[in-house]
Structure 1
Amino acid sequence: MPTRRILSIWFPRLGAERLLRRVTDPDTRLFAVVSAEAQDQVLTSVSLRAEALGLKPGQPLRTAQALCPDLITRPRNRAAEAAFLAALGRWAGRFSPLVGIEGTAGLLLDVTGCAHLFGGEAGLIATLRAEAGDLGLSLRCGLADTVGGAWALARYAGQGVAAQRSGDAIDQEARATRSRAAKRRHWERGGAAPVVPVGAEADEIAPPGHLPDRLAPLPVAALRLPPVVVADLARLGLRRIGDLAAQPRASLARRFGPEVMLRLDQALGHVPEPMSPSAPAPRFATRLSLPDPIGLRGDLEAAVCRLTERLCLLLQGKGQGARHLRLEAYRADGGLQAVEVRLARAVDQPEAMRPLLEMQLDRIDAGFGIDMLRLETIVTARMETRQGESGLGRGRGPGAQEAALADLITRLGGRIGLEAITRRHPAESHIPEKSALTLAAAWSEPATAPWPTPEARRPLLIWSPEAITRPETGDITLPFRWRGRVHEVAGASGPERIAPEWWLEDPAWRSGVRDYWQVVTTRGERLWLFRAHGGQISGGWFCQGRFA
């Protein structure tokens, strides 16, 4: 049985290079990605030039700007970085069928029996480095028999040991040893370790059976130990993995707990450590190759009918429904026409997909004819079976009514866009403009909370307060001027007093307490007026809404 071989790939500048890889000269950019940590902004990733000037991840932003005033920063997008790392995992699938995500900037590959396809292990790493360079990415690799050993080599191989000194450091060297200390390297005598640019050293490969020798000179931080434990071990003079492996196990376990010995045994292969490869996301797609090019709408509708039936069989087999469809038409002249349809609910029935796709067929230019059609689901969701739904979703239960409403939203969204269709939800606030939330109808459920009672009715349309001209004091039935027109009052009801939220600072409510009136004009308009009594700014009369 061949020896298990694990390859660890580390992208030390993933966050910065994700944003810089499309720039023509990324190596000359002073660039850093910033994240808010513990009420402070720190660097999470820096470019190659910024790293050469002394900037590093974890450094406060104010310190970095003091060193490099011309530093360009961008906020960190964790979701985008995770998606980019997942895409790199799919890219690495050409080197091994078993690829896993490691942390926020690393990949793990089980390359057992795969290296000979690329000219050996050194050839595999060289190919990786060349292709990553074409993508604008820098990487470091470690190849060993264990997951922990490969992780340690990828991140710490060739960088020496940064010796840590403190007031508690144990220094019991004899005078004879001190007399020869000048011949030793300065960082082995307690000085700072030399700065080794990431990627400058060759990728480390530990041949089978030689892993302990390769790990011995590495710092104990390469065992994936917490920084506090690493600092405690350094105070005892245990800075290298070889120093730690030579100590009695029982005393170390009593003082530092079982984690130190577990990580050491995992790195050396004494304790197995499983690797969890990422499962590929299921893809639902079907295509139809045509013997002769087609271009008539009737032919396209017949092809769409066959494609939707096949796609729905695939979705139903996995209990999934489509939320986003893409139809691609490959023309005889090599061109590509594509249309997309977004749905307000997950569907797995051809009758629900077909009309939506047929609405988009007019946007496809057949040219000299279409040779092939392909239908793919971009976004899927698990289907939920509800009582009251039967067959194709027809029925009279609540589930059928919700499905019918979702289908209506989908049809309207196909013409004006799903984002343009919204629904209102009640909000817990007595401020008129904050009493309701506007949500996208396709990605929200109907409101379950009760709306305000008729005694506290709100107008159908609410806008920013607009000043009106009327006497400051006097009866509410006096005429007023608004939007360039004089309005006669036929009736009024109120007032309803609303006070501002004192625990929140809202510039629109600096005019103090408001008294709201429902006013009916002689033209039949039902307006919502209020008088602001004045606060931080002067008050007056305003119009804020219109009732239906």
Structure 2
Amino acid sequence: MAKRRILVIWFPRLGVERVLRRRGAALPAPFAVVGDRNGAQVLVSVNPEAGALGLFEGQGLRDARAICPALDTVTQDERAEAAFLTVLRRWLGKYSPWVAEDAPDGVMLDLTGCAHLFGGEAALMEQVADECEAMGLTLRAGLADTPGAAWALARFAGRGGGGGAETRSGDDIAQEAHATRSKAVRRRAGPVAPAGPQGVIAPEGRARQMLGPLPVAALRLGADVVEGLARLGVRRIEDLAVLPRATLPKRFGPMVLRRLDQAFGLEIEPVTPAKAPLHFAARLSFPDPIGLLGDVEAGVDRLLPVLCAKLASRSRGARRVRLQAFRADGDVQVAEVGLARASDRVESIRPLLALKLGDIDAGFGIDMLRIEAVLTEPLMAVQFRARMGEDAAPVPQDTALDEIIGKLGTRLGAEAVTRFHPAESHAPERAFQVLAAAWSQPLGKPWEGCGRPRPLVMLRPEPVAGPEGPVPPKGFRWRRRDWVTRVATGPERIAPEWWLDRPEWRSGPRDYWRMETEDGTRLWLFYAHGGDVSGGGSVRGCLRERFLAKKSRRNLTQIPRSGVEPKSASDFAAISS
């Protein structure tokens, strides 16, 4: 059985080199990435030019500006750096199938049984170093029998002084002053940018000897533990290894012995690779470029069954499908559609793509078509409803509605198709919520309202002029017109939600009336009793077509002018704008 071998690659300048790669050229001027650490702006990554001037990671931005006024800086983007590290991890997968990220700036590979494919361990590390140098990346690598030993060699070995960390100031660790020793230990607790060889290989079974001269910080211990060990004169791993094991956990916790055993191979530390993302795609290459819409449709008809078969094999359904047309001139035309419900059926995806195929410009011809399910969801099994004395029947699903939502979303945008859901609030304007239809499910049952009628259309309250007091006015003036009340129903008092600070409810509790004027117009009026701001009367809603016709005169259903109240929302005016 092959001996376990672990390779750890450390990218000490990952932050600055990611930015330089994005800009497309190296900057000769001193450059650094600035991040927030405990409320202070510090340097988290510096380029070699800045390091040559005495700048280092962890240094305050003000101190760095004082040393180098011409320092060029950018703010740290942790998400972008994590995504860049993920790209590097996937790229390093060609050397080993067992690759894991060592956040925030390292990658760990299990090379057991893999090194001979690249000419040995030294040749493999040299190839990795050459390819990273070609990409503009600085690295340090360590290869040993255990992940802990490889991590220590990558970040702390080969720095001179018996493997100790480099000194950034004139503090001498041998001085007797306690404060000076503590300050020096804190500065030496973490690794610094490399100045020595790019890789260190520990022969099989020699991890203990290789780790002995390294500082105790190489065991991945916390800064407080490293500082506490330094006060006792324990600065190297070999000094720590000879101490009585029973006393260390009592003083510094169990992690000290655990890290020591992991580095020496006495405790197994697994390398857990990232789970491979699900990938569903199919492509079709043509011997000659195509340019007719019918040819593109025929290609899609050949690709979709392959894609849907892959989805069905993993019990996944596509929510977003992307079609790429690679033209002969190198351009790529993209058509992307979204589905209201995850599906692995050709019949659900094909009509949506057909709406987008006309937007593809074939140019001088299309060499290849590629279709991919960029967003998928697990498909739920069909649910059955069964009761005593009844046959089992599947729970109905409104597939036709989902297809309509998908087609409308393809033409108008997924966020343009919405549906209403009830919300828990007595305030009329907050008794409902608007959700994207493609990302929400129907309520499945009638709304359980408050049992009282509500306006069909909610309007912004507009003040009215009338008699003062919480009584329905016999007449009032609104929008430079006099109105005469024929029937008033109410009041219904609604108090503001005290746990929410909403400006429109600062006028205090409201008394609502349903009003019908002499000409048949139906309005909702409320009287605010006053709170943080003064109250008064306002128009809240309207139920008759005369007011609504100002916004739209299409598809209006006339309401009878009798005094009979409508029984449901379907009896009111139907409006489309």
TM range, normalised to the smaller chain?
A: 0.7 to 0.9
Alignment correspondent of 1:32: 34
2:164 to 150, 160, 163: 160
CA distance in 1, matches of 2:78, 2:538: 43
* Contact preservation (8 Å) 2:42, 2:61: no
> Following superposition of structure 1 onto structure 2, how do residues 22-61 of structure 1 map, counting pairs within 5 Å?
22-23=22-23, 28=30, 31-34=33-36, 41=39, 46-48=44-46
Query: Which stretch of structure 1 is more off in the superposition, 302-311 or 465-474?
Result: 465-474
Alignment correspondent of 1:127: 130
Unaligned runs of 5+ in 1: 164-177, 390-395
Unaligned runs of 5+ in 2: 386-391, 544-571, 573-577
* Contact preservation (8 Å) 2:8, 2:108: yes
> Following superposition of structure 1 onto structure 2, how do residues 102-251 of structure 1 map, counting pairs within 5 Å?
102-111=102-111, 112-113=114-115, 116=119, 120-133=123-136, 139-157=139-157, 158=159, 160=164, 191=184, 193=187, 197-209=192-204, 210-251=206-247
- Residues 462 and 61 of structure 1, relative CA distance in 2, 3 Å threshold: farther
- Residues 155 and 357 of structure 1, relative CA distance in 2, 3 Å threshold: same
- Residues 385 and 255 of structure 1, relative CA distance in 2, 3 Å threshold: same
* Contact preservation (8 Å) 1:426, 1:450: no
Alignment correspondent of 1:86: 86
- Residues 464 and 130 of structure 1, relative CA distance in 2, 3 Å threshold: farther
Structure 2 residue identity aligned to 1:480 = R
Query: Which stretch of structure 1 is more off in the superposition, 415-424 or 115-124?
Result: 115-124
CA distance in 1, matches of 2:512, 2:66: 54
Query: Which stretch of structure 1 is more off in the superposition, 248-257 or 499-508?
Result: 248-257
Q: How many residues align?
A: 515
> Following superposition of structure 1 onto structure 2, how do residues 83-482 of structure 1 map, counting pairs within 5 Å?
83-111=83-111, 112-113=114-115, 116=119, 120-133=123-136, 139-157=139-157, 158=159, 160=164, 191=184, 193=187, 197-209=192-204, 210-253=206-249, 256=252, 258-387=254-383, 399-447=395-443, 451=447, 453-473=449-469, 475-482=472-479
* Contact preservation (8 Å) 2:166, 2:192: no
* Contact preservation (8 Å) 1:356, 1:411: yes
* Contact preservation (8 Å) 2:32, 2:43: no
How well do the aligned residues superpose, as a CA RMSD in angstroms?
Answer: 4.2
Per-residue CA distance 1:395-437 (angstroms, 9 max, x = gap): x977543433322211111111111112222223333333322
CA distance in 1, matches of 2:127, 2:324: 36
CA distance in 1, matches of 2:430, 2:64: 41
* Contact preservation (8 Å) 1:3, 1:208: no
Per-residue CA distance 1:26-85 (angstroms, 9 max, x = gap): 7655643448xxxx746697342798887856x99999999999997758665x554443
SS at match of 1:222: helix
SS at match of 1:271: coil
Alignment correspondent of 1:495: 491
Per-residue CA distance 1:428-451 (angstroms, 9 max, x = gap): 333333332222221222337974
- Residues 75 and 54 of structure 1, relative CA distance in 2, 3 Å threshold: closer
SS at match of 1:267: helix
CA distance in 2, matches of 1:66, 1:421: 56
- Residues 118 and 268 of structure 1, relative CA distance in 2, 3 Å threshold: closer
SS at match of 2:362: coil
CA distance in 1, matches of 2:64, 2:472: 65
- Structure showing greater Rg: 2
CA distance in 2, matches of 1:191, 1:431: 63
- Residues 398 and 344 of structure 1, relative CA distance in 2, 3 Å threshold: farther
* Contact preservation (8 Å) 1:34, 1:73: no
Superposition deviation, residue 252 in structure 1: 3.0
* Contact preservation (8 Å) 1:470, 1:481: no
Superposition deviation, residue 20 in structure 1: 6.7
2:12 equivalent to 1:8: no
- Residues 196 and 354 of structure 1, relative CA distance in 2, 3 Å threshold: closer
CA distance in 2, matches of 1:522, 1:398: 54
CA distance in 1, matches of 2:486, 2:400: 43
Normalized against structure 1, the TM-score is what? 0.79
Query: Which stretch of structure 1 is more off in the superposition, 487-496 or 20-29?
Result: 20-29
- Residues 375 and 521 of structure 1, relative CA distance in 2, 3 Å threshold: farther
- Residues 498 and 277 of structure 1, relative CA distance in 2, 3 Å threshold: same
Superposition deviation, residue 349 in structure 1: 1.1
